[in-house]
């Protein structure tokens, strides 16, 4: 029975992802983009969960890993012939190389991990709350550099000509990989140790756990996942720096918090449910017809509704809609 | 030093002014943090609301003092509403939960502003004359720089007096040291928190007035970047004491103003990178903040 409940922790979120993907394949071409977007967001939110959920420390900076992953995968997979058109100032060695889809995703993950290590070394030494706020510094630095440093990317321009390999298939596989890695981590010794520091930092350090090291390990792993998700993202949409900045930070944090930040199940449920709401509102901003009534919301309603939802969930049920617990079968009444 | 770094007096005055404004923001955030252990990310949006009040004041041709009063009114009402609707139900939750909640409120307020006022922005012109220069001994300096420094200094002195000399101030300091014990010996929690929220709101209104002079175009993301910089400054200075948080706010504002003036044009776009890398490097050496007194122990329950 215990074995079964362990595997359900992995199987339940994975099944939800597959279910969303199956719904996506049956949707029309224009609606399918919403499903792909949702699956990429699942990967990002799971990456956030690996650090925030297990450590209890907030991070407003993970979108910088997504951005960096997107830039790495994007720059390296634009065909050499088209590079000078959109990135005229690109550094020479980047200009001459182009890699395939899968290597570009692996390199995106590597870039996210390296970036997380570099920033994590100083930031993870801070106390929990200060570390959370200081991750904003990371977001600002990466955003600022990607926006203006044209030797490593398109700068202010939009990333066009990246092969659009992230269809519903790749997005699903990507989200499943993220879920599997997060599961493996949380079952591992490191995941358990980090959760111990979350529950009681004083008791954890008293048993000889280095909070710094454990947080850093999770930070780097979730940086890698976020970079990987960024790679998926750039293969799906032509991004620019503003797409991978504060709005995405807000919406992904909202997903994690609404679902329940302390469980993988919560991260996936939150990402899927908020995405569903968000996609519906985005469509409604352009006008949708439901049962004969046309709903046409003014632009900007999306963020208002998601903001209200996030604030209300935090006030009424701070552990999120799943209660921050892993998926479990309902117990038989005794 | 001024000559070596190729900084003129105007830059120095601007840097001092920005330092002063950021110090006020840091105090506003620090006061509420002191009593509630809550980092209010939505502080910038209070300033944004005040700035919109000023902009509409000048659009409706109200006299300057009326629009400033209007600005204070809007910001104070919003602060109290925020306290009642968000801070109070969240009291006692983990600091991280409260920070995320205020982040949500910040985004909510910004999107409401976007929905109501659009993204193009409104211009606040009533205080524009303050942007003209004053001639001081052959050196021209914008009036607003001097006004900001003076106003910030006056606010900080007043606040110091309030905290040191009045019973409300005493209660507030007691509450920020140990809320539970303070309550046990008769400090009224709601009054102290209400006081801190009101003062913090008043400071936000002051900041709104001074910022609209420097940047008259008011958009929904007004003061958003400044809030992020000030929060970094608060961490840089040390979050645990209001004084170190304020000094941190001043330091980052001053550094930002100085860097903005000193960087050559080709590199000025990287101002944020330089600034935040410096913050991280300092934190590498002093993780508790440069102005923190000693290593903070573990907070006991």
What is the full DSSP assignment across B10-27? HHHHHHHHHHHHHHHHHH
pLDDT digits (tens, 9 = 90+) for B206-238: 999 999 998 899 999 999 999 999 999 999 998
Q: Which residue of A has its CA nearest to B271?
A: A144
Residue A61's nearest CA partner among A131, A127, A14 is A131
pLDDT digits (tens, 9 = 90+) for B79-137: 999 999 998 888 878 888 888 899 999 999 999 999 999 888 899 887 878 878 887 77
**Residue A117 touches partner B, C-beta closer than 8 Å:** no
pTM of the model: 0.92
**Residue B268 touches partner A, C-beta closer than 8 Å:** no
Q: Which of A120, A137, A303 to mutate to probe the B interface, most B CBs <10 Å?
A: A137
Size of interface A-B (CB pairs under 8 A): 137
Say what the ipTM of the complex is.
0.89
Percent of chain A past pLDDT 70, that is, above it, reads 98
pLDDT digits (tens, 9 = 90+) for A123-171: 998 887 888 888 999 999 999 999 999 999 898 889 888 999 999 999 9
Distance CA A242, CA A249 (A): 11
Helix, strand, or coil here: A18? helix
Q: Which residue of A has its CA nearest to B87?
A: A315
Using the beta-carbon criterion (under 8 Å), do B270 and A315 form an inter-chain contact?
no
Q: Which of A52, A144, A260 to mutate to probe the B interface, most B CBs <10 Å?
A: A144
Q: What is the pLDDT of residue B11?
A: 86
Domains in chain B (CATH in brackets) are: 9-129+141-285 (1.10.3470)
Distance CA B78, CA B52 (A): 13
Q: Which contacts (CB < 8 Å, 24+ apart) does range A277-286 have?
A: A277/A305, A277/A306, A277/A309, A278/A251, A278/A302, A278/A306, A279/A34, A279/A37, A279/A38, A281/A305, A281/A306, A282/A34, A283/A34
Question: Does an H or E element contain B150, and which?
Answer: helix B143-165
Is the Cβ–Cβ distance between B39 and B29 less than 8 Å? yes
Q: What is the pLDDT of residue A334?
A: 46
The yes-or-no verdict on residue B300 having pLDDT over 50 is no
Q: What is the pLDDT of residue A129?
A: 85
Counting Cα atoms < 13 Å in the Cβ hemisphere of A284 gives 17
Q: What one-character DSSP code corresponds to residue B92?
A: T
pLDDT digits (tens, 9 = 90+) for A206-218: 999 999 999 999 9
Using the beta-carbon criterion (under 8 Å), do A144 and B269 form an inter-chain contact?
yes
Per-residue CA distances from A185 to A46, A275, B60, B61 (Å): 12, 25, 59, 61
Strand partners, B122: B218
Per-residue CA distances from A77 to A40, A99, A319 (Å): 18, 5, 40
Distance CA A45, CA A259 (A): 10
Using the beta-carbon criterion (under 8 Å), do B108 and A303 form an inter-chain contact?
yes
Q: Which of A89, A115, A134 to mutate to probe the B interface, most B CBs <10 Å?
A: A134
Helix, strand, or coil here: B60? coil
Distance CA B27, CA B189 (A): 20
- What ranges make up the beta strands (E) of chain B? 122-123, 133-136, 139-142, 217-218
Q: What is the pLDDT of residue B294?
A: 60
Average pLDDT over chain A reads 91
Per-residue CA distances from A276 to A174, A238, B51 (Å): 19, 22, 35
pLDDT digits (tens, 9 = 90+) for A1-19: 567 888 889 999 999 999 9
Please enumerate in sequence order all residues whose Cβ is within 8 A of that of A174, keeping only pairs 6 or more positions apart, or say none. A39, A40, A43, A105, A166, A228, A229, A232
Distance CA A180, CA A46 (A): 10
**Residue B164 touches partner A, C-beta closer than 8 Å:** no
Using the beta-carbon criterion (under 8 Å), do A122 and B277 form an inter-chain contact?
no
Q: Which residues of A122-155 are buried (b: 16+ CB within 10 A; e: fewer)?
A: bbbbbbbbbbbbbbbbbbbbbbbbbbebbebbbb
Helix, strand, or coil here: B191? helix
Using the beta-carbon criterion (under 8 Å), do A138 and B276 form an inter-chain contact?
yes
Q: What integer is the mean pLDDT of B67-73? A: 96
Distance CA A247, CA A253 (A): 10
Interface of B with A in 189-228 (CB under 8 A): 224, 228
Burial classification of residue A112, based on how many CB atoms lie within 10 Å of its CB (0-12 exposed, 13-18 middle, 19 or more buried)? buried
Is the Cβ–Cβ distance between A270 and A65 less than 8 Å? no
Interface of B with A in 112-151 (CB under 8 A): 112, 114-115
CA distance B125 to chain A (A): 27
**Residue B274 touches partner A, C-beta closer than 8 Å:** no
Q: What is the pLDDT of residue B96?
A: 82
Per-residue CA distances from B68 to A10, B45, B199, B201, B202 (Å): 57, 17, 16, 14, 11
Q: How many residues does chain B have?
A: 301
**Residue A303 touches partner B, C-beta closer than 8 Å:** yes
Distance CA A314, CA A259 (A): 10
Q: What is the pLDDT of residue B301?
A: 42
Q: What is the pLDDT of residue A28?
A: 86
The yes-or-no verdict on residue A91 having pLDDT over 50 is yes
Interface of A with B in 148-167 (CB under 8 A): 148-149
Q: What is the pLDDT of residue B179?
A: 82
pLDDT digits (tens, 9 = 90+) for A44-82: 999 999 999 999 999 999 999 999 999 999 999 999 888
Per-residue CA distances from B257 to A239, B88, B288 (Å): 32, 36, 24
CA A72 to chain centre: 16
Q: What is the pLDDT of residue A331?
A: 64
Please enumerate in sequence order all residues whose Cβ is within 8 A of that of B212, keeping only pairs 6 or more positions apart, or say none. B51, B54, B55, B124, B127, B218
Distance CA A44, CA A251 (A): 11
Interface of A with B in 243-302 (CB under 8 A): 246, 250, 253-254, 257, 298-302
Distance CA A152, CA A102 (A): 20
Q: Which of B41, B92, B104, B295 to mutate to probe the A interface, most A CBs <10 Å?
A: B104
**Residue A307 touches partner B, C-beta closer than 8 Å:** yes
């Amino acid at each position: 029975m215990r074995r079964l409940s362990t595997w359900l922790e992995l199987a339940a979120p994975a099944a939800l992802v597959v279910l969303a993907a199956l719904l996506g394949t049956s949707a029309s071409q224009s609606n399918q983009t919403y499903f792909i977007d949702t699956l990429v967001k699942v990967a990002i939110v799971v990456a956030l969960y690996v650090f925030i959920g297990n450590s209890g420390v907030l991070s407003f900076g993970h979108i910088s890993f997504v951005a960096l992953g997107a830039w790495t995968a994007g720059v390296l997979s634009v065909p050499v012939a088209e590079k000078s058109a959109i990135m005229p100032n690109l550094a020479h060695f980047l200009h001459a190389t182009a890699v395939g889809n899968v290597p570009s995703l692996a390199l995106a993950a590597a870039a996210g991990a390296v970036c997380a290590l570099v920033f994590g070394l100083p930031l993870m030494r801070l106390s929990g709350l200060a570390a959370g706020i200081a991750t904003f510094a990371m977001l600002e630095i990466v955003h600022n550099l990607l926006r203006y440093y044209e030797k490593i990317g398109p700068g202010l321009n939009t990333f066009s000509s990246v092969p659009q390999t992230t269809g519903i298939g790749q997005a699903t596989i990507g989200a499943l990989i993220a879920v599997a890695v997060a599961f493996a981590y949380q079952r591992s010794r490191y995941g358990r140790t980090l959760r111990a520091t979350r529950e009681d930092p004083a008791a954890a350090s008293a048993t000889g756990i280095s909070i710094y090291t454990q947080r850093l390990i999770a930070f780097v792993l979730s940086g890698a996942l976020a970079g990987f998700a960024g790679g998926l993202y750039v293969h799906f949409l032509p991004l620019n720096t503003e797409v991978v900045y504060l709005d995405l930070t807000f919406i992904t944090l909202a997903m994690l918090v609404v679902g329940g930040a302390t469980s993988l199940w919560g991260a996936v449920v939150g990402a899927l449910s908020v995405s569903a709401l968000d996609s519906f509102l985005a469509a409604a901003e352009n006008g949708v017809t439901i049962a004969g009534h046309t709903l046409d919301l003014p632009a900007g309603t999306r963020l208002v509704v998601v903001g209200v939802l996030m604030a209300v969930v935090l006030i009424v049920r701070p552990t999120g809609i799943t209660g921050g617990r892993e998926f479990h079968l309902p117990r038989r009444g005794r | 030093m001024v000559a070596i770094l190729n900084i003129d007096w105007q830059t120095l005055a601007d840097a001092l002014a920005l330092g002063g404004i950021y110090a006020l923001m840091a105090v506003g955030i620090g006061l509420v943090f002191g009593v509630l252990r809550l980092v209010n990310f939505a502080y910038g949006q209070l300033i944004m609301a005040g700035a919109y009040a000023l902009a509409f004041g000048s659009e409706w041709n109200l006299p300057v003092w009326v629009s400033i009063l209007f600005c204070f009114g809007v910001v104070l009402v919003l602060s109290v509403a925020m306290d009642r609707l968000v801070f109070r139900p969240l009291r006692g939750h983990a600091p991280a939960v409260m920070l995320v909640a205020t982040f949500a409120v910040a985004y909510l307020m910004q999107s409401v502003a976007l929905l109501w006022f659009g993204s193009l922005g409104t211009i606040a012109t009533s205080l524009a004359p303050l942007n003209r220069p004053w001639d001081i001994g052959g050196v021209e300096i914008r009036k607003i720089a001097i006004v900001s420094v003076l106003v910030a200094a006056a606010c900080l002195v007043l606040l110091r007096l309030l905290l040191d000399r009045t019973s409300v101030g005493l209660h507030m300091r007691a509450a920020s040291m140990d809320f539970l014990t303070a309550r046990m010996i008769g400090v009224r929690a709601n009054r102290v928190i209400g006081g801190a929220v009101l003062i913090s709101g008043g400071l936000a209104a002051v900041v709104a007035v001074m910022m609209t002079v420097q940047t008259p175009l008011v958009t929904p993301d007004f003061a958003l970047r400044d809030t992020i910089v000030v929060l970094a400054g608060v961490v840089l200075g040390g979050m645990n004491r209001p004084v170190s948080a304020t000094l941190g706010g001043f330091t980052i504002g001053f550094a930002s103003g100085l860097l903005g003036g000193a960087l050559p044009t080709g590199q000025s776009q990287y101002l944020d990178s330089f600034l935040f890398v410096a913050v991280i490097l300092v934190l590498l050496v002093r993780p508790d903040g440069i102005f923190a007194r000693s290593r903070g122990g573990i907070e006991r329950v």
